Amino acid sequence: MRDTKPNKPLTKSKEMLSGREIIEDFVLLRPGSMDKYQQLCSALNTYELWSEESRTSFLSQFMDSFDILDVNCSELVHKLCKIRWHTVPSKMLPDFVNLLSALAITHVHHISLVFTAFVDHFSPVVDSNGHTNSDASQSTAVGEQFQESLYALAHHSIRNVVSCNPLSNRVLLKCFVKRFPHIKQPTPKLLAFIRNLLHFADWIDDEEIASEIWSLIVEKLLQIEALSSEFQDEQRLSFSSHLADHSKPKFGKKTTDTEGDSMGEKLDALVALVLTFLGDGDSSKLAVIGDEVRTSFLRLMRRFSRRRLSSTAESKDGSETENVESLPVDEGYEEELMATGL
Q: Could you give phi then psi for residue 289, rounded to 5 degrees?
A: -80, 125
Query: Model-level pTM?
Result: 0.79
Is residue 138 assigned to a domain?
no
- The pLDDT value recorded for residue 141 is 77
- The pLDDT value recorded for residue 333 is 46
- The pLDDT value recorded for residue 185 is 94
Per-residue pLDDT tens, the chain, 342 aa: give them. Answer: 444 444 443 344 445 788 999 999 999 999 999 999 999 999 999 999 999 999 999 999 999 999 999 999 999 999 999 999 999 999 999 999 999 999 999 999 999 999 999 999 999 998 755 555 534 445 677 889 999 999 999 999 999 999 999 999 999 999 999 999 999 999 999 999 999 999 999 999 888 999 999 999 999 999 999 988 654 544 444 444 544 555 444 444 455 555 446 888 899 999 999 988 887 655 566 667 778 888 888 888 888 777 777 766 665 655 444 443 443 444 444 555 555 555
Residues 201 and 306 in one domain: yes
Residues 118 and 203 in one domain: no
Is residue 253 assigned to a domain?
no
Residues 46 and 101 in one domain: yes
Residues 286 and 184 in one domain: yes
Residues 111 and 228 in one domain: no
- The pLDDT value recorded for residue 151 is 98
Is residue 119 assigned to a domain?
yes
Instruction: Give 317's contacts (C-beta < 8 A, 6+ positions apart).
Output: none
Residues 23 and 163 in one domain: yes
Q: Could you give phi then psi for residue 231, rounded to 5 degrees?
A: -65, -45
Residues 33 and 155 in one domain: yes
Is residue 2 assigned to a domain?
no
Residues 276 and 304 in one domain: yes
Is residue 3 assigned to a domain?
no
Residues 35 and 159 in one domain: yes
Is residue 77 assigned to a domain?
yes
Is residue 232 assigned to a domain?
yes
Residues 25 and 161 in one domain: yes
Q: Could you give phi then psi for residue 152, rounded to 5 degrees?
A: -60, -40
Given a contact cutoff of 8 angstroms between Cβ atoms, the answer to whether 271 and 279 are in contact is no
Is residue 98 assigned to a domain?
yes
Total structural domains in the chain? 2
How far is it, in rounded angstroms, from Cα 208 to Cα 217?
14
Domain encompassing residue 197: 180-241+263-314
Instruction: Give 100's contacts (C-beta < 8 A, 6+ positions apart).
Output: 80, 81, 114, 117, 118, 157
Residues 212 and 160 in one domain: no
CA 243 → CA 201, 231, 238, 249, distances in Å?
Answer: 50, 19, 9, 8
Residues 230 and 156 in one domain: no
